[in-house]
Amino acid sequence: MPASISDRLVTATRELAGALRPLRFGPPVDRVYLPADYARRPYEAYLRKFAGTRKRVLMLGMNPGPWGMAQTGVPFGEIPAVRDWMDIEEPVDRPPGEHPKRPVEGFACARSEVSGRRLWGLFAERYPRAGDFFADHIVLNYCPLVWMRETGANLTPDKLPAAEMAPVEAACDAHLRTFIRILEPEFLIGVGGFAEARLRKAAEALGLEVRVGRILHPSPASPAANRGWAPAAIRQLVALGVWPE
């Protein structure tokens, strides 16, 4: 019997974790978390619950935020959204070499991931039942690694040396192409410019004629997002043809 779509995605995710786990990074990186390992159970529950069918829209983020995916394993994983809207709550282990300023408390974490609150808040407002959103959409992250400075401050992939990022990008690009092949989306939507660029590269490598675009990243570090992220994202999704007017 052929493997189901969700089984294939789970297998691909475990393979990606296996490729990333041995990688090492020099300064300014002090600690690295891999939620695909220690938060594997909720993320695999997310894939099995919501990614078992082909999708019209694949949305892609960059890498985990400290109070979202780093806690729950789910992309943009704001805890109330994952627990209450998606109805997913699974045990989360502690990462090796945990930084005292970046504790992993799983679903007991009281901090809020602003980007995830904005993103999932918009989708939950438009689709009160999570299953209605995930019937056509899936949200993924490009890379499941969290990099931190000695202070615990977050480091994004674009701040790391190109030589150290080369094997990361090779593994994550291959993983992204696998997900696109399996899910066969019509739209590839980056949440921010970095994700859009990775999607364009993947689509070109696969020779696909799909609509590739982006929405504004909901990060609180973005002045534009702070001026009204949800209306801006809706306008962009409508302009791209993802959502009706």
Q: How confident is the model at residue 200 (pLDDT cuts 50, 70, 90)?
A: very high
Q: Other C-beta atoms within 10 Å of 197: how many?
A: 14
Q: Which residue type occupies 201?
A: K
pLDDT, average across residues 73-100: 96
> Which residue is it, tokens 């694949």?
58
Q: What is the pLDDT of residues 24-69, one digit of tens each?
A: 999 999 999 999 999 999 999 999 999 999 999 999 999 999 999 9
Q: Residue ranges of the domains in the chain?
A: 5-240
Beta-carbon contacts of 229 under 8 Å, excluding residues fewer than 6 positions away, are 118, 122, 216, 218, 222
pLDDT, average across residues 77-83: 97
Angle at the Cα of 220 from the Cα atoms of 41 and 233, rounded to 5 degrees: 85
Q: What is the DSSP string of 28-64?
A: T--EEE-HHHHTHHHHHHHHHHH-SS--SEEEEE-S-
Could you give the percent of the chain with pLDDT greater than 90?
Answer: 94
pLDDT at residue number 1: 66
pLDDT at residue number 156: 85
CA atoms within 13 A on the CB side of 166: 3
The CATH architecture that domain 5-240 belongs to is 3-Layer(aba) Sandwich (3.40)
Q: What is the pLDDT of residues 230-242, one digit of tens each?
A: 999 999 999 999 9
Give CB contacts under 8 A, 24+ apart, made by 18-23: 19/167, 19/171, 20/143, 20/144, 20/145, 20/168, 20/171, 20/172, 23/164, 23/167, 23/168
Phi, psi of 211 (to 5 degrees): -85, 120
pLDDT at residue number 195: 96
Q: How confident is the model at residue 157 (pLDDT cuts 50, 70, 90)?
A: confident
pLDDT at residue number 71: 97
- CA–CA separation, 65 and 39 (whole Å): 13
3-class SS of residue 215: strand
- CA–CA separation, 237 and 189 (whole Å): 9
Does the pLDDT at position 201 exceed 70?
Answer: yes
How far from the centroid of its chain's Cα atoms is residue 115's Cα?
Answer: 11
E strands, the chain, in order: 31-33, 57-61, 137-141, 146-148, 154-155, 187-191, 211-215
**Average per-residue pLDDT in the chain?**
96
- Contact between residue 179 and residue 208 where contact means Cβ atoms under 8 Å apart: no
Q: What is the DSSP string of 103-115?
A: ---GGG-----HH
pLDDT at residue number 245: 82
pLDDT at residue number 12: 97
pLDDT: is 159 or 192 the higher one?
Answer: 192
